[in-house]
Amino acid sequence: MAKIIKKIVINAPAEKVFGFVTSPDNWTRYVTSLTDVRDISSMKVEAGTIFKWTYRMLGINFHGRGHVTENVKNKRFGLKMEGSMPIIETYTFTPVDGGTELSVEIQYEMPGKIMGTIANKGLIEKINKKEADAVLGKIKLFCEGT
């Protein structure tokens, strides 16, 4: 699995950032390529909560099932997506100077369908790093703007 780690400081308390990130209603708002989250087993998002997802990359839809791996209030939140594009995401929330340092670690596997179409691992890595930056930027925008 490839791994990306990114951090950003958000001028909002950890409680607000955590609440935004962990709400399934917001997942498609800040993950640009995540087009659909459905069939959520419980709106009380906790370890074990399951859902179905659709992710679009380079014009190809990937589908799968995911579950929350951890939910430690205002500290850590983890997701594992299984299916045609396996992804593990871990968000860490650290209070800093009245704001929050948000760190995300993303581990992913590129399916043969994408690698066969693109055949350029470096390009895929660039796309995924850009997506991670966009995710953090959107979370910052939403949490600081409201």
Instruction: Render pLDDT for 68-89 as a digit per residue (tens, 0 to 9).
Output: 999 999 999 999 999 877 889 9
Chain mean position to CA 82: 13
* pLDDT tens for each residue of 41-64: 998 899 999 999 998 877 888 899
List strands edge to edge, sheet with 34-38: 2-10, 99-108, 87-96, 76-83, 60-72, 50-57, 34-38
Question: pTM of the full predicted structure?
Answer: 0.89
CA distances from 124 to 12, 24, 112, 132, 135 (A): 32, 26, 12, 12, 16
| Per-residue pLDDT at 123 | 72
Domains of the chain with CATH codes: 2-145 (3.30.530.20)
Question: pLDDT, tens digit, for every residue of 113-146?
Answer: 555 555 566 777 788 889 999 999 999 999 998 6
Tell me, what's the pLDDT at 124?
A: 72
